[in-house]
Chain A
Amino acid sequence: MLKNKRWTFIIGLLAGMGMAVVAVVTLPRLQPHTFYGTVLQSPDKAPDFELDTASGTVSLEDFRGKIVLLYFGYTFCPDICPATLAEISKAITSLGKKADEIQLMMISVDPGRDTPEMLRDYVTHFHPSFLGATGTEEEIAQVATMYGIFFEKHEGTEATGYLVDHTATVMVIDQEGHLKLVFPFGAPAQEIADDLAFLLK
Chain B
Amino acid sequence: MKTIVVIPRCRNFGIIALSIFALFSIALGACQPSPKGPAISIEEAWGRPSPKVAAAGAFYMLIKNTGSEADKLVSAESPACGAVELHESYKTEEGAMGMRPVEGGYIEILPGGQAELKMGGLHIMCIEKLADFEVGAVLPLTLNFEKSGEIIIEIEIREP
Contact = CB atoms under 8 A, between A and B. Distances in A.
B57 A78 contact: yes
Nearest to A126: B51
Contacts of A9: none
Interface residues of A, number: 30
A185 interface: yes
Interface string A131-148: 000000000000000000
A165 B92 contact: yes
Contact of B96 (A78, A121, A122, A152): A152
Nearest to A154: B98
B132 to A, nearest CB: 12
Contacts of A159: 82-83, 85, 127-128
Given A157-B85, A186-B120, A76 B95 contact: no
Contacts of B120: 79-80, 83, 185-186
A166 B54 contact: no
Contacts of B49: 125
A78 B97 contact: no
A63 B32 CA distance: 62
B9 interface: no
Nearest to A114: B53
B97 A166 contact: yes
A82 B96 contact: no
Q: Is the interface of B mostly helix, strand, loop or mixed?
A: strand
A150 interface: yes
Interface in B51-98: 51-58, 82-83, 85, 87, 89, 91-92, 94-98
A160 interface: yes
B71 to A, nearest CB: 24
A101 B52 CA distance: 28
A82 B48 CA distance: 8
Contact of B85 (A79, A83, A160): A160
A119 to B, nearest CB: 8
B89 A80 contact: yes
Contact of B56 (A150, A160, A164): A160
A121 B53 contact: yes
Name the 8 nearest CB pairs between A and B, nearest first: A165-B98, A159-B83, A125-B51, A121-B53, A78-B58, A168-B97, A78-B56, A150-B94
Interface of A: 75-80, 82-83, 86, 118, 121-122, 124-125, 150-152, 154, 156-157, 159-160, 163-168, 185-186
